[in-house]
Amino acid sequence: QQQVKQSPQSLIVQKGGIPIINCAYENTAFDYFPWYQQFPGKGPALLIAIRPDVSEKKEGRFTISFNKSAKQFSLHIMDSQPGDSATYFCAASRMKGGSEKLVFGKGTKLTVNP
């Protein structure tokens, strides 16, 4: 059972473009939604995160949009650069109770061409 579905699997944009990565979740108990960035041979690094009490969060060129009723959230990268080329993972967790483990999507490999 895949609790967090991520799309697309891969994405190619030109420099300056705005790639959008989408995720959908099933468990309404999830209350924390981070995005991680992973470069080849490296571990995932937290990029930005949102909680369901807000619909949008922006940090620099990265924006998360959150739609609680649709159980969907997305990552937008403004003015994308070749250095943004990486694999992006969305995730979800339940912060209250339990072990608060993260459930990850399968990832989106982003390529930003110069």
Partner 1 sequence: NAGVMQNPRHLVRRRGQEARLRCSPMKGHSHVYWYRQLPEEGLKFMVYLQKENIIDESGMPKERFSAEFPKEGPSILRIQQVVRGDSAAYFCASSPRVPGAGELFFGEGSRLTVL
| Residue found under tokens 């739609």 | 67
Longest CA–CA span in the chain (Å) reads 45
What is the closest distance, in whole angstroms, from the C-beta atom of residue 80 to partner 1 in the complex? 22
What is the closest distance, in whole angstroms, from the C-beta atom of residue 23 to partner 1 in the complex? 11
Residues forming contacts to partner 1 in the complex (CB under 8 A) are 4, 6, 32, 34, 36, 41-46, 49, 89, 93, 95, 98-107
Tell me the C-alpha distance between 4 and 24, whole Å.
Answer: 6
What is the closest distance, in whole angstroms, from the C-beta atom of residue 44 to partner 1 in the complex? 5
CB nearer to partner 1: pick between 63 and 108: 108
Tell me the C-alpha distance between 44 and 62, whole Å.
Answer: 16
